[in-house]
Amino acid sequence: MLDALHLSSFKCFELLDLPLGKLTVLSGINGGGKSSVIQSLVLLAQTLDEREWSKSLLLNGPSLTLGNASDVINQTTGRRQLSLGASAGNRKVVWTFSAQDRRAMALDLSAVEVNGVALDISGPIHWLLPETEAGDCAIVQHFKCISWLSAERTGPRELLPLLDAQHHRQVGMRGELAAGLLHWRESDAVSERLLIEGEPPTLFHQVRARMRQFFPGCDLQILPIEGASAVSLRLRSSAKSEFQRPQNVGFGLTQLFPVLVEVLAASPGDVVIVENPEVHLHPKAQQDIGELLALVASSGVQVILETHSDHVLNGIRLAVKGRRSVEPPQVEIHFFSRDAEGASRRLSPKIDADGRLDAWPDGFFDQFDLALAALM
């Protein structure tokens, strides 16, 4: 598990040391830094995956496109470098990347520190580390197991990509590969802790069962298209109706589907990042997805969640109180805002065994109370 994230001069952060738990909740105002936290994780994961033997940070790749050096280096520091790092167990790795020209489309690796000791990077580099260090680095392995589902998910589509099985290890940043993943891995076993009783323990049947929990009567089919590298996802909203194109059923079904596939297909040790799982879900379903993500985090999968929904947060709190998921010390909740000078600020309320928070900062899921007070 990744225990902490370390950022310096990255986007809105001059310096950030962010604790990570088995379940990490990122919340806060728009532009407060939540997306920058996620982008730093995905940026390293993308670079390790796409540039295995490179000495540069890949700013523009298949998962994430961030522009040039001036777009990612904090502008208030006046520097031409940034640092990204993480901790796991008793090891802390920090990579420093530099650019002579702020218009550069990639940043060069200029230093690597492990537990504060600088490593020699003059020789061959493998996964952004000296070749002799890379193979047994748990932090690198965690980054290579990151799956990211962005808030900008693919809407209802007639056809979805079907590639070879290796390209469906994840659901894709927009969820576009979820149907293909389910096609190839339909018989995979789901973690015992996540199983719905009375249903076969395979991925396909458990995804169907979870969909029915959120949308009673819902069902799905995955149909390969002969002669094309594509599959068709068909849905129905009740047992009495015919399977239909996704465009003809509730939008929430297609938005929830990749979330369920992502978390149920994950293996212990994986890191799952989900942005705004509440999109197009009614309040009860938002609460339920919060409870499910808390349960997933107790199955050995690390979950990093960004949300604007108090219902999702309440689902997590209810799961903790009901002893159905992670223990309170395993949950990290971070609220990002801005100070008077515009710099990013972080407050981190702690949750107890009854699901209560020890602090409720201004702007932290309090809009309902503010509106109610104005109406009284």
Given this model, what pLDDT does residue 290 score? 97
pLDDT in tens, 169-182: 999 999 999 999 99
The gap from C-alpha 352 to its chain's centroid, in whole angstroms, comes to 24
Residues 91 and 58: their CA atoms lie apart, in Å, by 24
Q: Are the CB atoms for 211 and 255 separated by under 8 Å?
A: no
The neighbour count for residue 303, using CB atoms within 10 Å, is: 27
pLDDT in tens, 96-137: 999 988 889 999 999 999 999 999 999 999 999 999 888 889
Q: Reduced to 3 states, what is the DSSP secondary structure of residue 192?
A: helix
DSSP 3-state percent helix, strand, coil across the chain (nearest 5): 30, 25, 40
Q: Identity (one letter) of the amino acid at 86?
A: A
Given this model, what pLDDT does residue 100 score? 87
Beta bridge partners of 230: 161
Residue with tokens 């990151």: 146
Given this model, what pLDDT does residue 117 score? 96
For the chain, domains (ranges, CATH) are: 1-145+267-376 (3.40.50), 155-266 (no CATH)
H or E segment to which residue 114 belongs: strand 106-114
Is 320 exposed, middle or buried (CB count within 10 Å of its CB: 0-12, 13-18, 19+)? buried
The gap from C-alpha 93 to its chain's centroid, in whole angstroms, comes to 21
Given this model, what pLDDT does residue 249 score? 83
The neighbour count for residue 373, using CB atoms within 10 Å, is: 9
Q: Which tokens is 72 given?
A: 């990612």
Tens-level pLDDT at each residue, the chain (376 residues): 999 999 999 999 999 999 999 999 999 998 889 999 999 999 999 999 999 999 999 999 999 999 999 999 997 876 789 999 999 999 999 999 999 888 899 999 999 999 999 999 999 999 999 998 888 899 999 999 999 999 999 988 889 999 999 889 999 999 999 999 999 999 999 999 999 999 999 999 999 999 999 999 999 999 999 888 999 999 998 888 889 888 888 788 999 999 999 999 999 999 999 999 999 999 999 999 999 999 999 999 999 999 999 999 999 999 999 998 999 999 999 999 988 777 889 999 999 999 999 999 888 887 877 786 788 7
Residue with tokens 């399977």: 243
